[in-house]
Structure 1
Amino acid sequence: MAVPKVNEMLLQDLEEMGFPRSQATRALYYSGNKNLEDAIHWTIDHENDPDIDVMPLVDVDIDIDSPQSFPITEEIRIKAQKLREQEHKKKEEEQKRLEREREKERIEAGKRLLEAKRIAEENARQRNLALRKAEKEEEKKARENVLQKLQQDKINRRSKHESILPIDGLANVRSSATTIEQQDKNPKPVSTIEKVDYLRECLRSLKRKHQAEHGRVRKAFETLSIYVGNVVKNPNEEKYRKIRLSNPLFQERVASLNGGVEFLELCGFERTGDFLYLPHEKCDIALLNSAGAVMNSAITNPFFGLLST
């Protein structure tokens, strides 16, 4: 395949009039290489062809015998100018269309970015709410424990002064003590502790049993927080819901402390052969978020577990 040979003088005239070389070559070739007028009329008739600006290729070169150039009349110049204006207008419209599409894409990208930011802020807000709620519950339980200790101290002090009370007063104290004993023998039924309470008590127990190993306890809490956080972020990824029990790092940081494995089991993990596995259908994101909040409180609150009985 080769570019067809056309009348060089006519080709030069067309190029001087503003036609691209490929378009002028195509027009001359398909109009018979006769004159400028036929070439221009051919271009007008085929201006919407998809390959109008593609250089034509042919199997056999055409020899051009007549080197004569067709005289350029005013009418031809007007037609050529019209073609150039149409081509320029078409290019401007195409450029505007591309700009509109790019602007539309920028707007859509901005909307997606704002939505992603909104979701991230909402998730952060929910985590903060869960954290504040857990901290308030921890503070409430700590105050209740303090009040119980104060009440017990009050009872103990009252018992110490029993020997110096008048007989009637001593009888009243003994009567009160009898009433307390009767109440102790008939305790009210204890309500069922929710899973979050079990999680919190599990961490308290772990901290109490390893009071002298603050570094190991903190490392265990941080590791458990990572396990739980990975599942919350990637609930559909099985690798985050599967922990090898024989993993040296897991053994050192979690399994070697009383309560480490139990905490994960309370989160839904199950012992399956050599693994702790959390089935997808048992993946409770709300519970895991609460577990993360409890864990954060255990890491950041220096009094976590110290007032627990």
Structure 2
Amino acid sequence: MAALSLKCDECGAALRSVAEAQAHGDATGHSAFSESTEAVKRLVCRECGKTCRSADEWSLHTKRTGHQGYDDKTNEAEAVDTEAQMKAAAVEEAGGCGGGSAAPEELVPAEVNGELLAQMEAMGFPAARATRALYRSGGENLEAAIGWLEEHGEDADLDEPLLVPKSQPKAKLTPEEARAHAAELIRKAKDKREREEKEMEKLREAERIRAGKELALAARQEDNLKLKRLVEARRLEKEEEARAREKIRIKLEEDRRARRRAKGLPEELTEEEKEEERRKAAAKVEEEKRRKLPIKPVQVGEKMRRQLVEMKKAHPGQEEAVKVCWNTLLKMCGNVYTHPGEEKYRRVRLTNPAIQARVAAFTGAVAFLQLAGFQPDGDNLEMPADRVDRAVLEVAGEQLQSAINNPFFGVL
């Protein structure tokens, strides 16, 4: 099989070309290389296009950038023509074959602190990346090199061997300059992390608001569904009741006809009997009108609801205490509704310590009782027997039940 890479016989490093082998030899002093049929991995990131040479390098790239997907193009590697590459390298080293008035400047591998390079390699950084970071950051501080990597993590040539002009070696920084440069790189890396954290916080806050709106919308939809189900159940109940009444009417009609036949009378009513039936029916309708319950006062109910909402807003952070007040109001209105003739239920002493703690201490509670029918009488509230309105008391009970049982009452 054709060779797909070169392998260092001394350290086992996989190299893609003769040029990389030369750079590796210059940096490490290794000189024994052999051809290998195993291609150097080419894991190309789908988001930024960066090429990683190993699984460890890809794992480091993922941790640093958050990118997840890559395309494995290892099998697309071309065969290594060692002889041709060595000739090309020799021609380039000799100054090219075309000739010219000025020879190209010779490039050599960058030299860095060997101890710091070994530390970065032990941390998992590839040799080429660690060398470039140490060289570009001054080469005297490990933190500065890591800070430089955080700033230049997206550079396309980050993992390429660093070659520098031989005639222009990089000026060595003084200890003070190196410390200042390292501090600047660390500051920039910290600022970058802070900006990213602020952006993530904004995204989390936006998600929290969206989730809250969805929760409120779901609660409203559930209330609407409950109302629709209640209306539908009431409709079916009315239809069933109508069918039952029709059956009873037919049965009564048959019984009436049988009784008339038994008495020797015609089955159909005479005009006088029909008139009498119409008169009885009209009297029954009038009686039902007198007995019919009054329509619930909608306007009073709306005022009661607004009063309860204002009461909740006036006492933030006291949800449980407000619920105790509402339950007390519900009990008071319920007692009057159930026992309208009992005077003790229609009279409230506001000076009573229990009433003071559970009712009078909360803004709007006394006003709610007045909407329900209680009237001020000195330090007391009293509902005259002739002013008891069961429809209003029923509306008051419904509003209080809604405020107590609905967790979103007063929120929207």
Same fold (TM over 0.5): no
Q: Which has the higher strand share?
A: 2
For this structure pair, what is the TM-score category when the shorter chain's length is used for normalisation? 0.3 to 0.5
Work out which of the two has the higher radius of gyration on C-alpha atoms and give 1 or 2: 2
Give the structure-1-normalised TM-score: 0.38
Which protein, 1 or 2, shows the higher relative CO under an 8 Å CA cutoff with sep ≥ 6?
A: 1
TM-score, with structure 2 as normaliser: 0.30
